[in-house]
Amino acid sequence: MQRQNRVPQHSNENGMADRNAAIATLFFVLAAFLLFFNLGCKALWGSEGRWAEVVRQMLLTHDFFHPQINGEPYFDKPLFTYWVIAALVPLFQQLDEMVARLPSAISGLTVLICTFFLGNKLWNKKVAYLSVTLLLTSFGFVFWSRTASADMENLAFIMLAISWYIHRRDRTDFVSYLVFYVICALGAHFKGLTAVAVPILVALCDMFLQKRLRHHANMKNLFALVIAVVIYLIPFLYASLTGHNYHQHGLYMVFRENILRFFKAFDHREPFYIYLYYVPFLMVPWLFLLLGFTLDRFRAWRQLDNNDKWVALSSLAIFVLFTLSTSRRSYYILPILPFLALGIATFLTNPGSKRLRDFSIYSQAVLVLAICFLALYVPFMLPSIESMWNYVPPPALVPTVAITGIIGAAAMIICLVVGCFWKKRCEGLLAGTMIAVYVLMSGFFGFEECLLELNRPMKPFIMKLKKIISDLPPESIAMSKNMASVSFYLHQPRPIVNLDRPENVEEFFKRPGKKILIARREDLKHLRPLMDRCKKRQILASPTAPWSKRNDKRLVAFEIHGPCNLNDSH
């Protein structure tokens, strides 16, 4: 009698678990590389300076409840967005660009984990991996994950709240409701009330489809919401009670930045249709897959199961919510990205029309391959770039771009050949396209952006100026207006003079001795008459970036000797 060798079932299960763990580990290592590598190589830009300067002021004054920029109140954003940066400073023993951006990168990784959880929970591992790959390789997601702001932290808490809801959506116990609302309340302390509105809206979409609205209409739900509101209010109340000379009220700023801005925008006014442009831009390069998903779900709505309907309906609801707001910006609608990634993944795995899916994949592959070949062509475009923009790229930039193009194109071709061999041409082409996009994204954010930084003049200008003014007190240094990045890099122990406030102008120009004025060229118009009454000389000027034509934004520094005779009718 022959003995049969049987592999124990638990051995197969352990092997499968080890394989899944290895794949997940590899994926998140690749994700971490794209989100964290060379995170601090760029100088602060745009609004990043506000986050860094507010935290610097908090550490300087040891006041963590009354945010300031150069000594002036700035409660436009809630407190937690600054606190998480401040909490990292002791760990790294410094506050720099990398530390300022680290919470956003960690939040980006959190969003990926939540998206993976939702894909695996509601569908399967294939949908989970496809969705996080699409999200990770979307330009808007990576860009804002590598930017010092509250937007990615806001998205992380939105996704945490939604993940918790999906995990416990069949339960009606008090703890399930309380944890959901507390996550929303904490998220609202990073960016604003969208961290509350979006999770509730998405949860309502699910309740509607699953016919669970009455299921969750109970007193435990209401009581949990009341407790979460109290928790949310505590930091604002404490800040209000202790801010005796602080001229901004946190709760009013919440009303102004969320409610008032939604119904009657005082800035950031853009056309109501602008998100039809911004959403595809944030999803670059997955434009054809996004279009295929949208058309397919519209055509095959009745054949979809509730989970597929939920992700499509949630995407639409988020789009409508932000479109209804009278204040619109591209980064406001970031919460739609994980749902679009999940929706596209379900379209790829379970399409209503296989022909539409295949056409979308082939079109997407052609677009990405064209980008790869364009990167390959960059060395041949160099003479045109130099003559058109009068710009000589850093020596390492051109070969870096070309190498990413070569690797990306090679990955697509190899995966297509392997797919044809296994009679899975479409799947092979999709895999190759995703690898190519990852390579292109890693090359741009990890290397090329850092090389382009060599041509940005702002930080070198300020660091050079910092050495020149090292012997001057802050009271002898003035800015034409409050510029957060300038304040951050100058790193003065006390606020420098803000000439945007009329009461400071006369006092500064009448001050005896040597003074330094830092201004944008566009701000000099109203200061020229006063400067002409002083003994002055320009000591430093930042060059214009090769790709910029706006000389009015250039920074200049003047040395002024006083006191100036302001009473002279010069």
Q: Which of 410-414, 489-493, 523-527, 555-559 has the lowest mean pLDDT?
A: 523-527
Dist CA 182 CA 249 (whole Å): 23
CB count, 10 Å around CB of 392?
A: 12
- My answer on whether 148 and 66 are in the same domain is yes
Same domain for 214 and 116: yes
Distance CA 317, CA 161 (A): 17
Answer yes or no: do 298 and 403 share one domain. no
**398 and 414, same domain (yes or no):** yes
Residue 343 CB partners (closer than 8 Å, separation 6+): 293, 297, 308, 311, 312, 315
Is residue 275 in some structural domain?
yes
* 464 & 411 share domain: no
Confidence of residue 420 (pLDDT cuts 50, 70, 90): confident
What's the rounded Cα separation, in Å, for the pair 558 and 202? Answer: 54
Confidence check: pLDDT of 250 > 80: no
- Evaluate whether 374 touches 403 at the Cβ level (below 8 Å): no
Are 238 and 172 part of one and the same domain?
Answer: yes
Residue-wise pLDDT for 489-540, tens only, equals 999 999 999 998 888 888 888 888 899 999 988 888 888 888 888 888 999 9
Residue 259 shares a structural domain with residue 120: yes
Q: Is residue 27 part of a domain?
A: no
9 CB burial (10 A radius; 0-12, 13-18, 19+): exposed
Task: Confirm if 116 and 25 have CB atoms less than 8 A apart.
Answer: no
Q: Do both 154 and 140 map to the same domain?
A: yes
The verdict on residue 222 lying in a domain is yes
Long-range contacts of 65-69 (CB under 8 A, 24+ apart): 65/235, 65/238, 65/239, 65/242, 65/243, 66/239, 66/242, 66/243, 66/246, 69/482, 69/484, 69/487
Please tell me the chain's helix, strand, coil percentages from 3-state DSSP, rounded to the nearest 5: 65, 5, 25
Q: Which of 3-7, 153-157, 215-219 has the highest mean pLDDT?
A: 153-157
Same domain, 488 and 370: no
Among 307, 323, 349, the domain-final residue is 349
* Residue at a domain's end among 423, 454, 485: 454
Are 170 and 58 contained in the same domain?
Answer: yes
Q: Please tell me the total count of domains within the chain.
A: 3
| Residue 233, φ and ψ in degrees, nearest 5 | -75, -25
**Residue 93 backbone phi and psi in degrees, to 5:** 60, 25
Residues facing 520 on adjacent strands: 555
DSSP lists the bridge partners of residue 73 as 68
Give residue-wise pLDDT tens across range 142-198.
999 999 999 999 999 999 999 999 999 999 999 999 999 999 999 999 988 999 999
User: Residue 570 pLDDT more than 50?
Assistant: no
For residues 16 and 113, the model is more confident at 113
151-167 vs 174-188: helix crossing angle, rounded to 10: 170
Residue pair 265/274 in contact by the 8 Å Cβ criterion: no
What is the domain range of residue 405?
A: 365-454
Residue-level pLDDT at 247: 67
pLDDT of 68 strictly over 70 = yes
Give the pair of three-digit tokens for residue 378. 């960059």
Classified as helix, coil or strand, 244 is: coil
Residue 563 identity (one-letter amino acid)? P
Does 72 score more than 60 pLDDT?
yes
Residue 256 lies in a domain: yes
Residue 69's alpha-carbon distances to 355, 360, 474, 485, 486, in angstroms, are 56, 48, 14, 10, 11
Residue 355 lies in a domain: no
Which among 349, 378, 400 is the end of a domain? 349
The tokens describing 172, both together, are 């009606």
Residue 16 lies in a domain: no
Closest CA to 436 of 368, 373, 377: 368
Q: Is residue 133 a part of any domain in this protein?
A: yes
Give the C-alpha separation, 266 to 328, whole Å.
11
Look at residues 413, 398, 400, 338 and name the one whose alpha carbon lies nearest to residue 368.
413
Asked whether residue 39 is assigned to any structural domain, the reply reads no
Is 462 found in the same domain as 449? no
**370 and 345 housed in the same domain:** no
Q: What angle do CA 391, 392, 398 make, to 5 degrees?
A: 120
H/E stretch holding 498: strand 497-498
Predicted TM-score (pTM) above 0.85: yes
